[in-house]
Amino acid sequence: MMKLSRSLLSRRLCSQTMLSGKWVDVGDALCSRAFESPAAFSTSVHDFSAKGISNARVFAPYTVYKGKAAFSVSPLLPTFSKIDSGSASLKVDRRGCMMLTFWPAVGERKYDWEKRQKFALSPTEVGSLISMGAHDGSEFFHDPSMKSSNAGQVSKKLYIKALDGGNGYMISLTVTNNILKSNERFNVPLTTAEFAVLKTACSFALPHIIGWDWLINQSRNDMAGSPSKVNPQLLDLEWDK
């Protein structure tokens, strides 16, 4: 019980985000939900479905709050298109990704969501993260204008490195904008447990972001009538704010 109390207190002291223009202590929400009874949870799910919004878009990122920055990860599913106008068969139009989002701390337990930066891990890059060992490191470089005359104007570099002593990892994002003459850097230390959650979540999501869940379950009745599993306009892209 003492360990549980300390864990909840630690989350409450270090976790905060902004909702509808207001700063909200995430720890309060975590604590209140942690002690909900199964009956209360079941009722809330039942009411959610009864209101006819069970197919609403769900937001469920895994988020870590630290002293200098916050970090979250969530999957973005692929989009599909018909092979031809007269066919009900679908093909992957754009593969999904694991979207990493960073935003800086602006004070004690306060974070500036407006200054967030994103990094989209491709399926292969997700594989590199999943295969990391206790003493490994991974580095990823993104440039939207690579192999063009505008290469190097804006670039992003993600670096994941095991900490000395094997007690965690450091995940760092550097965003260089030579047009605006700016250079932003985010450093978020992850404990061994937090990194284990990140790897497990990525492992679970990997078949989904490459579209294999639809391939395996292609007998779904609504597949032919849904050329795109996710509305492209709803995708939160890496290079968009």
Are 98 and 127 in contact by the 8 Å Cβ rule? The answer is no
Supply the range of the domain harboring residue 42. Answer: 1-56
Written as six digits, the tokens of 33 are 């939900």
pLDDT of residue 150: 83
CB 61 within 8 A of CB 74: yes
- Shared domain check, 120 and 17: no
Q: Is residue 241 part of a domain?
A: no
The answer to whether residues 203 and 130 belong to one domain is yes
44 assigned to some structural domain = yes
Residue 94 lies in a domain: yes
210 and 148 within one domain: yes
Residue 182: give its domain's CATH number: 2.30.31.10
pLDDT in tens, 125-179: 999 999 998 889 999 999 988 878 888 899 999 999 999 888 899 999 999 999 9
Of residues 188 and 2, the one with the higher pLDDT is: 188
Q: Is 109 part of any domain?
A: yes
**Mean per-residue pLDDT of the chain:** 75
Does 181 lie in the same domain as 120?
yes
> How many domains would you assign to the chain?
2
239 located within any domain: no
Q: What is the pLDDT of residue 71?
A: 95
Kindly state whether residues 5 and 106 are assigned to the same domain: no
Does one domain contain both 191 and 226? Answer: yes
Are 51 and 169 in the same domain? Answer: no
Residue 37 has pLDDT above 50, yes or no: no
Domain boundary among 32, 56, 80: 56
Nearest Cα to 119, choosing from 205, 184, 167, 68? Answer: 184
Report pLDDT for 213: 77
Same domain, 12 and 95: no
The residue-averaged pLDDT of 206-222 equals: 74
Query: What pTM was estimated for this model as a whole?
Result: 0.67
Same domain (yes/no): 98, 188:
yes
Query: Based on the domain organization, do 161 and 192 belong to the same domain?
Result: yes
Same domain flag for 146 and 198: yes
User: Above pLDDT 70, what percent of the chain?
Assistant: 67
Of 222, 41, 188, the residue nearest 102 (C-alpha): 188
Q: Specify whether 112 is located in the same domain as 206.
A: yes
Q: Report pLDDT digits (tens) over 40-82.
A: 223 333 344 445 555 677 788 999 999 999 999 999 888 888 8
Phi/psi region, residue 211 (left: phi>0; alpha: psi -120 to 50; beta: rest), is left
Alpha-carbon gap, residue 71 to 172, rounded angstroms? 10
The answer to which of 37-41, 138-142, 225-229 has the lowest mean pLDDT is 37-41
Higher pLDDT, 233 or 60: 60
Please choose, from the candidates 194, 192, 232, the residue with its C-alpha nearest in 3D space to the C-alpha of residue 73: 194
